[in-house]
Amino acid sequence: MVFFIGTVYWTGTVIITFGDVPVPVAAVGVVLMSAYLSLYHVVGLLVTSRVIARLGARGLFFAPFGWVGGEFLRGVMLSGFPWVPLGNSQVTVLPVAQLASVLGVYGLSALVAYVNATVAFALLRTGRPRMTAVVAAAVVLVSLGAWGTWRIRDGSLLREGTPIRIGIIQPNVEQNAKLAAADGSDQNEARRIFTTNIAMTRDVVRRGAQFVMWPESSIPFKFERDQRGDEIRALAREVKVPLLFGSDEEITAAGQYSIYNSAYLLEPDGRTAAVYRKIHLVPFGEFVPLRRWFFFIRPLVDSFSDFSAGESMVMLPVAGHRVNTAICYEVVYPSLMRDAVNQGSELLTTITNDGWYGQSSAPYQHFAMAAMRAIEQGRYLARSANTGISGLIDPYGQIVRQSAIFEQVGLVEEARFLTGKTMYAAIGDVVGYTSLALTVITALVLWRRDRGND
């Protein structure tokens, strides 16, 4: 509870500012959300405590399985919310973070839990058991650190593949201004937003950009339903580079209306090359799970847009190569980026609007999780965010360049299209599945033994 309240406190600020919710109600909402997220760890930690009761201090070494099992389940149940897993704490400790290229972020979570279990064991035991445990953990850390340092210094991924210069647009449009422009109440603001994106695009192309990215929902209208969409096509023809941008997309088929949070890629000749529809929607932001059960906050629930979810990853053709994009918080899903790479993506991109989060820690958390995806997949990752943080991250998790939040800036940096795959891309979340399975099996064994004793 303490961990989640301290981590996702900013959800309260968002619903106060943009949902017109009283502060006490928002505070209760943060506590309830934190309690819900905590439930995923209850079983694993309860099983760990029972193992300790039977085995003594040695049972502490079950903690990595108990913790990661709950963490993994939190990332997949009810569409999942894998926000800031324990392993992401190592994203700036680059030699250690390279383990993610083998075992993913859940492997790093297990490592952190293991080291802390060793510390606890050393505090509880003396003599040879303590020394053995500490030496074993030290060997693991030194070995991983040495390998990670070698991997970064080798830097082969920075020399492979085909280079491309990416223009990353951060227009820095305040969220209330975006909302006023989108609902038509401020046409002057709508025009300013649109012309800002166009001017910044021309600027980054003059500076050598060969592929330009705008943020999520970067235009204050629906691209295919507004004549201003032709101006974007004309811009692509003018600058003669592929253009990626976010826009809501409306589709009516068989008498059924759907709206998607989509990403469009335009060819240099202005044609639509591909459209990706967001798969993982934000709970209580883009859809309301179990909507009929939340009747007691009906005004708040009804204020949320009810987007439809996309069905599959779409490859975006850029300069003869395959690229994918993740919209907003989709980048926190390790499996989504892994699926994209296994479908042939040579460059990871993500477009987002973090303007909702203000000056909170959320934009920094979000950017750090994007960096972890780069390490896991051994790919460059380019990120365009409306108010920041935008930037480019290399395949080792090193920040090539990043913007400040609430800064209007156009970045132009060189990335590379890469085709090799990491071990993690091949084996996926083996650590997560294994931890969950061991936790469930151990719980069943303990339950049966307890019943037998009764």
Active site residues: 216, 278, 328
**Angstrom distances, CA of residue 436 to CA of 72, 110, 295, 423:** 7, 12, 34, 21
CA distance 341 to 166: 19
Find the distance separating the first CA and the last CA of the chain, reported in whole Å.
33
Please identify which residue in the block is written with the tokens 């992401």: 88
Please identify which residue in the block is written with the tokens 């903690």: 63
Please identify which residue in the block is written with the tokens 């953990």: 137
Angle at Cα 326 formed by Cα 321 and Cα 331, nearest 5°? 125
Q: How many CA atoms lie within 13 A of 49 on its CB side?
A: 6
In SS3 terms, the chain reads as: CHHHHHHCCHHHHHHHHHHCCCHHHHHHHHHHHHHHHHHHHHHHHHHHHHHHHHHHHHHHHHHHHHHHHHHHHHCCHHHCCCCCCHHHHHCCCHHHHCCHHHHHHHHHHHHHHHHHHHHHHHHHCCHHHHHHHHHHHHHHHHHHHHHHHHHHHHCHHHCCCEEEEEEEEECCCCHHHHHHHHCCCCHHHHHHHHHHHHHHHHHHHHCCCCEEECCCCCCCCCHHHCCCHHHHHHHHHHHCCCEEEEEEEEEEECCEEEEEEEEEEECCCCCEEEEEECCCCCECCCECCCHHHHHHHHHHHHHCCCCCCCCCCCCEEECCEEEEEEEHHHHHCHHHHHHHHHCCCCEEEEEECHHHHCCCCHHHHHHHHHHHHHHHHCCCEEEEECCCCCEEECCCCCEEEECCCCCCEEEEEEEEECCCCCHHHHHCCHHHHHHHHHHHHHHHHHHHHHHHHC
**Angstrom distances, CA of residue 118 to CA of 63, 129, 136, 266, 303:** 10, 11, 9, 53, 48
CA distance 28 to 248: 32
